[in-house]
């Protein structure tokens, strides 16, 4: 039986995606080879500072957004964030991160790095920002994270220079348009017929997957 293919869209700077990582880990542990996660990026924070300053202008600006993020995190005891999140350091754009991460994804697909290197890198980027205030938009910081993960900077740069990483990022943009993704994180499965947006509990995600596993695609509808 073919695994359930799941498109996972997120922004590396999104607090909800950071919170939801534990749910993805649980999915992989529970269903193993019965699900196949395919990671894509949606540029919610493509123009981060300008977007936050404009949307939070009447609610305290960046400080107001920082307070909001802290309020959100207080509901989840398994993660921590830096006290000065989004105030002392405000990465200009998540797009730079997404490009760099796709370069690592390509290396993994080519068998040039260990399996799950891409997933580990995504988590490392999120953790570096949310817990250490690392400006992960900065290429120097990206190189530092790659070195900590024992990944070849030259190999990553080669995927960017060749245009392959840009092509993968462009594919994300096309899929975001095709599936009208506006929220991070978003899970899309059943060939686009089902989606779960934002802060969705694990049991809801699990129930949707079990329903698909127990009801083959050809038996989804009577009409």
For the chain, what is the domain count?
1
Q: What integer is the mean pLDDT of 85-96? A: 97
Rounded Cα distance between 174 and 136, Å, is 24
Q: What integer is the mean pLDDT of 120-129? A: 98
pLDDT digits (tens, 9 = 90+) for 28-62: 999 999 999 999 999 999 999 999 999 999 999 99
Model confidence at 223: pLDDT above 80: no
Percent of the chain with pLDDT over 90: 89
CATH code: domain of residue 99: 3.40.30.10
Q: Which is more confidently placed, 194 or 176?
A: 176
pLDDT class of 216 with cuts at 50, 70, 90: low
pLDDT digits (tens, 9 = 90+) for 153-175: 999 999 999 999 999 999 999 99
Model confidence at 207: pLDDT above 50: yes
Model confidence at 118: pLDDT above 50: yes
Q: Taking a C-beta distance cutoff of 8 angstroms, is the pair 160, 100 a contact?
A: yes
Q: Would you state the pLDDT for residue 40?
A: 98
Q: Would you state the pLDDT for residue 44?
A: 97
Least confident of 74-78, 81-85, 115-119, 190-194: 190-194
User: Which residue range(s) make up the domain with 208?
Assistant: 4-219
Query: Please, what is the average pLDDT of the chain?
Result: 94
Q: Would you state the pLDDT for residue 221?
A: 46
């Amino acid at each position: 039986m073919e695994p359930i293919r799941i498109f996972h869209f997120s922004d590396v700077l999104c607090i909800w995606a950071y919170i939801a990582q534990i749910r993805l880990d649980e999915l992989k542990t529970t269903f193993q080879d019965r699900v196949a996660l395919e990671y894509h990026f949606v540029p919610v924070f493509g123009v981060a500072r300008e977007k936050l300053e404009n949307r939070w202008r009447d609610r305290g600006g960046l400080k107001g957004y920082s307070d909001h993020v802290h309020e959100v995190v207080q509901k989840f005891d398994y993660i921590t964030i830096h006290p000065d999140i989004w105030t002392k350091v405000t990465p200009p754009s998540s797009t730079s991160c997404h490009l760099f991460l796709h370069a690592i994804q390509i290396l993994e697909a080519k068998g040039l790095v260990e399996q799950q290197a891409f997933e580990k890198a995504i988590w490392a980027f999120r953790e570096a920002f949310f817990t250490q205030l690392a400006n992960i938009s900065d290429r120097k910081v990206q190189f530092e994270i790659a070195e900590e993960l024992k990944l070849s900077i030259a190999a990553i740069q080669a995927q960017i220079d060749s245009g392959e990483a840009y092509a993968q990022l462009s594919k994300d943009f096309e899929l975001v348009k095709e599936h009208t993704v506006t929220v991070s994180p978003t899970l899309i499965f059943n060939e686009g017929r089902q989606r779960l947006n934002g802060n969705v509990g694990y049991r809801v995600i699990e129930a949707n997957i079990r329903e698909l596993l127990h009801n083959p695609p050809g038996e989804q509808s009577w009409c």
